[in-house]
Structure 1
């Protein structure tokens, strides 16, 4: 079985479409799958939509939290409730084209972790320069300061073997946006086999990332992992 997790905070406008499009793609691929909405302290009605989806479709599970726990804790809770041998998590805005689900599945047979990458030359990623330049600088600093061989640490489209997810999710200390980077740094230090795949990706105009504030936060965490 494949477990697909959507960490979701205030995604009322997107979560239903994300779930239904993902389910359609999974069925097309003939997968035995479940979709877990790890709904994290939403205040915009995401919880109600997620609950209705879980009532309507037997492949959907809704995990609700009254308080915002953060991306990391939402993923840990979902992992505990999941049944899949492969754990996939992705952003509810589906910025990464869902057709790449097949690429995750095909490659996870030979690797421990498979991740979408916007920064491979084969990728088709479109976003404004105000986002593109900071992203490239950030990933350069992670490679330089943390000795990473990965091009794109933050693309929200990842698959892990279950035993690898169980090992890494609970070792990551960060609970928010740095979760993905820290996960991949720990994975490399532990010698896990990681595959980056090119993806079609489109910038989400209503991104929750706050550039200046989050840049300082990410830099602080890079320094933490250097110690």
Structure 2
């Protein structure tokens, strides 16, 4: 891969408003192209005229040529020679994600954007797109064809595919943004420098991967409803792109689940922090955890009783109690780790299970002791045994929650809640 790039200025991450100083542009709009010799010039001239008339800060337009084999490089070079605010970058490999990765990291602008060469999105949305980034209010901005207020003209096939893809993202990666693939996005340069090294895709899934990382890192994603008209000459291979997207979803999901993607470190580096989770008049975090813990506890108790009843006839009450409690304790710890306290990845999982087994030992002592005391006092029937075990289990459950919250998951509780979306990004506009 070869490209002409501009060195990256060394700046610290920040969330304040952009400081306009020196000759460097405030905004760099990248237009990725492949064999666009016909559409490139009218696109760049129209975009240049719009920015010159409407955008109040210095800007640049970067044409990122992805190994075109027609006259696209010559057209881009001629535009760069004529218009001072236009530059041309040539890459020897194809891929929209690759073009954005290279040009964004090589830009000295403080706000980075991109749009498709067909200009399907109305340029009137450009200023609303980048304004929250310039002010420091938001970190990433996306044009959305699916947000309320958007006006879209396209065929039913593309409409169905787009909506199905975004439903798939919400159900698999639990995204909260509405439109992952609209070719109209912007990002603060400091945020881009932190996120892009962890974005692996070089094609069409690049957008989705970047947004998922931004959301999980606790960044604010601003959405702008756009007017969008489908380009009938689009050369995107829908089937190949869909398959690549599915592979990307699996890869990113695996990376998030295993901890291969360093979300915790990115959150510490970039997140605006969490708002107060226990403000007056709002149900506190403890209550949310209790609700989730209780739901898991009901299922665990039901599973425990079923196992106990099934095992008791063959091995006796005490061994049946031990095995049923052990199996459900391991499952209970894993479920509470993920759902109640929001801890993901394999890091610390063995330690959490070991500590959970210690808590299990306390529960075993309560239930076994209750059984022993019951049999020492009388010859109980099966029904009385179950009643006593349920009461002992309830006591053990309360103790279990207190120990899980105050000991096992004490250090990871807060940060993990932010990752899973329970905590809401801060409303501060700057740090």
TM-score norm. by structure 1 comes to 0.96
Kept after mapping to 2: 8 A contact 1:3/1:86: yes
**Are residue 47 (structure 1) and residue 73 (structure 2) matched?**
yes
Aligned partner of 2:186 in structure 1 is 159
Which among 97, 112, 129 is matched to residue 104 of structure 1?
Answer: 129
Q: CA deviation at 1:221?
A: 1.2
State the distance in 2 between where 1:170 and 1:202 align.
33
**Are residue 199 (structure 1) and residue 199 (structure 2) matched?**
no
Which among 62, 68, 72 is matched to residue 93 of structure 2?
Answer: 68
1:152 counterpart SS class: coil
- Structure with more helix by fraction: 2
Structure number with greater Rg is 2
State the distance in 2 between where 1:128 and 1:9 align.
24
Mapping of residues 72-221 of structure 1, within 5 Å:
72-108=97-133, 109=135, 110-221=137-248
**Are residue 13 (structure 1) and residue 50 (structure 2) matched?**
no
Unaligned runs of 5+ in 2: 1-25, 255-431
- Structure with more strand by fraction: 1
Q: CA deviation at 1:170?
A: 2.3
Q: CA deviation at 1:28?
A: 1.4
Q: CA deviation at 1:106?
A: 2.2
Kept after mapping to 2: 8 A contact 1:42/1:68: no
Q: CA deviation at 1:185?
A: 0.4
Larger displacement relative to structure 2 (174-183 or 160-169): 160-169
1:170 counterpart SS class: helix
Number of aligned residue pairs: 226
Aligned partner of 2:62 in structure 1 is 36
State the distance in 1 between where 2:142 and 2:181 align.
9
C-alpha distance after superposition, 1:152-205 (max 9, x if no partner):
000011111110111122211110010000000011111111011100001011
TM-score norm. by structure 2 comes to 0.51
Q: CA deviation at 1:25?
A: 1.3
Q: CA deviation at 1:15?
A: 1.2
Kept after mapping to 1: 8 A contact 2:105/2:192: no
Q: CA deviation at 1:52?
A: 0.3
State the distance in 1 between where 2:80 and 2:251 align.
39
Q: CA deviation at 1:216?
A: 1.6
Unaligned runs of 5+ in 1: none
Kept after mapping to 2: 8 A contact 1:154/1:181: yes
Kept after mapping to 1: 8 A contact 2:97/2:203: yes
State the distance in 2 between where 1:35 and 1:163 align.
19
Larger RCO (CA within 8 A; separation ≥ 6): 1
